[in-house]
Amino acid sequence: MSQPLVVLVFSGKRKSGKDYVTDLLQKRFGEINCSIMRLSAPLKSQYAKDHNLDYEKLLDASDYKEKYRKDMIRWGEEQRLQDPGYFCRLTTSGEDSKKPVWIISDARRKPDIEYFKMNHSQVTRTIRVEAEDSIRIKRGFVFTEGVDDAESECGLDENINWDYIIDNNGDEEQLNKSLKPIIEYVENQLKS
C-alpha cells in the first residue's frame, strides 16, 4: 500500500457540490500531485458487471444512475457487511495511489472514515461539504425515499468531529475562505 502525504476524506449530501469542490482542489494542487479517488467507482464497476449495465453512465449525475441507485446501495451494503474496508482498499490500490495527495471524494459511512484514520492516521483530514437544501434543490436535488433517508446519505450526519467544514452555497468568496485552511495544510505537507 502506498503512503500518501495527505488524505482528504470528503463527505456531504447529494448535490452539496462535493465533486465541484474536489475538482477545484485537484486543479490547485495539480494532477501530478493529486488524485481524486471515488469509493463509489469500484462499487459501480462491479455492480455494472454483475447487472450488465453501462459503467460510465453509472459514474455521472444522470437519470440512468438514479434509476439504479437504490439497488446499488443495497448491493454495496451487502458487500460492506462482509468486509467494511473492501471498497476503500479497492479505491486506493491503483496507479493513483502513488500520488502524494489523495482526495477521497465520497465517504458515506463511518467505516469509510475509520479506514483512512486507521491506515493513514497522521495525514488524514475529514471534510464535510454543506449546502442549504434550497441550494441543493436548485442544483437538481429531489428527495428520494430509500436513498436520501438511507445510511449512504445519513450515516455521517451526526457524531463526526470534522476537521473542516466547507460552506458551498454558491458564494465563491465564502467557498474560497472555507478552502483556504485546507489549501494551506496541503501545500505545507507538499513542501515538507
Per-residue pLDDT of 60-82, as tens digits, reads 767 888 889 889 888 888 888 89
User: What is the spatial distance between Cα 156 and Cα 162, in angstroms, rounded to a whole number?
Assistant: 10
**Domain assignment of residue 88, yes or no:** yes
DSSP type of residue 24:
H
Domain of 132, in residue numbers: 6-191
How many domains are contained in the chain?
1
**Domain assignment of residue 168, yes or no:** yes
**Domain assignment of residue 34, yes or no:** yes
Global pTM?
0.87
Yes or no: say if 24 and 179 are a contact pair by the CB < 8 Å rule: yes
Q: What percent of the chain has pLDDT over 90?
A: 63
**Domain assignment of residue 112, yes or no:** yes
pLDDT range class, residue 33, cuts 50, 70, 90? very high
pLDDT value of residue 128: 97
pLDDT range class, residue 167, cuts 50, 70, 90? very high
Residue 110, Cα to own-chain centre: how many angstroms? Answer: 12
**Domain assignment of residue 57, yes or no:** yes
Cβ-Cβ contacts under 8 Å for 179 (sequence gap 6 or more):
21, 24, 25, 166
pLDDT value of residue 59: 78
Residue ranges at the known binding site for ATP: 13-19, 139
User: What is the spatial distance between Cα 10 and Cα 23, in angstroms, rounded to a whole number?
Assistant: 12
**Domain assignment of residue 59, yes or no:** yes
Separation in Å, CA 10 to CA 54, 58, 133: 26, 20, 19
pLDDT value of residue 168: 97
Is the confidence at residue 17, as pLDDT, over 70?
yes
**Domain assignment of residue 1, yes or no:** no
Residue ranges at the known binding site: 13-19, 139, 168
User: What is the spatial distance between Cα 166 and Cα 128, in angstroms, rounded to a whole number?
Assistant: 6
Phi and psi torsions of 8, nearest 5°: -105, 115
Cβ-Cβ contacts under 8 Å for 49 (sequence gap 6 or more):
55
pLDDT range class, residue 20, cuts 50, 70, 90? very high
pLDDT range class, residue 12, cuts 50, 70, 90? very high
DSSP string, 69-119: HHHHHHHHHHHHHH-TTHHHHHHTSSGGGGSSEEEE----SHHHHHHHHHH
pLDDT digits (tens, 9 = 90+) for 134-161: 999 999 998 888 877 777 788 788 889 9
Is the confidence at residue 18, as pLDDT, over 90?
yes
Q: Take residue 13 and report the three cell numbers written for it.
A: 449530501
pLDDT digits (tens, 9 = 90+) for 84-142: 998 999 899 888 899 999 999 999 889 999 999 999 999 999 999 999 999 999 999 98
pLDDT digits (tens, 9 = 90+) for 48-63: 988 999 988 887 767 8
pLDDT value of residue 1: 55
Residue ranges at the known binding site for substrate: 168
Residue 46's CATH number: 3.40.50.300
pLDDT value of residue 149: 78
